């Protein structure tokens, strides 16, 4: 019973890094990384940006950053074979438990990936073309 309670507590307090791609009409990517902080600043557990969509958590390290979300976005861009990207935007959401005792901090990033076939009716100034891999 104690082990079950401990496991449940760990599961509730663990962070999560997720990458979701929707290909219905347009290729949209949504990235979320979340983690728990003690007294607003001390990181307890957060998602593992190196292995999104898996049940892995980083303990006592601050991985909920814009930099990590952008790294995950870079990987999705390469994996999906996109030629350009547009409408990149990010925001954070904080939830507090018992004032500042516990905080759940989540960073969300989304973007539209453009494939070769999407490029015909897209204005060049609205997009960021993907650089060759050596860059």
Give the shortest CB-35-to-other proteins separation in angstroms: 15
Of the pair 2, 44, the CB lying nearest other proteins is at: 44
Kindly list the residues in this chain that would bind other proteins in the complex (CB under 8 A). 39-40, 65-67, 69-71, 73-74, 77-78, 84-94, 96, 98-100, 109, 126, 128-131, 135
Give the shortest CB-17-to-other proteins separation in angstroms: 15
Of the pair 59, 126, the CB lying nearest other proteins is at: 126
3-state secondary structure 75-126: HHHHHHCCCEEEEEEEEEEEEEECCCCEEEEEEEEEEEEECHHHCCCCCHHH
Q: Could you give the CA distance from residue 14 to residue 35 in angstroms, rounded to a whole number?
A: 7
Give the shortest CB-71-to-other proteins separation in angstroms: 8
Of the pair 6, 42, the CB lying nearest other proteins is at: 42
In three-state secondary structure terms, 38 is: strand
DSSP state for residue 51 in the 8-state scheme: S
Give the shortest CB-8-to-other proteins separation in angstroms: 19
Q: Could you give the CA distance from residue 63 to residue 82 in angstroms, rounded to a whole number?
A: 26
Of the pair 45, 113, the CB lying nearest other proteins is at: 113
Are the CB atoms for 115 and 130 separated by under 8 Å? Answer: no
């Amino acid at each position: 019973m104690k082990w079950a309670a401990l496991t449940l507590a760990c599961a509730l307090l663990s962070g999560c890094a997720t990458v979701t791609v929707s290909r219905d009409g347009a290729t949209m990517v949504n990235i979320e990384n979340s983690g728990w902080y003690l007294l607003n600043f001390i990181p307890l557990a957060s998602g593992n940006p190196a292995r999104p969509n898996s049940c892995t958590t980083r303990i006592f390290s601050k991985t909920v950053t814009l930099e990590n979300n952008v790294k995950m976005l870079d990987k999705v861009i390469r994996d999906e074979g996109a030629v350009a990207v547009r409408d990149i935007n990010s925001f954070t959401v904080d939830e507090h438990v018992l004032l500042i005792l516990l905080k759940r901090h989540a960073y969300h990033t989304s973007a539209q990936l453009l494939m070769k076939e999407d490029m015909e009716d897209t204005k060049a100034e609205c997009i960021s073309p993907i650089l060759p891999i050596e860059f």
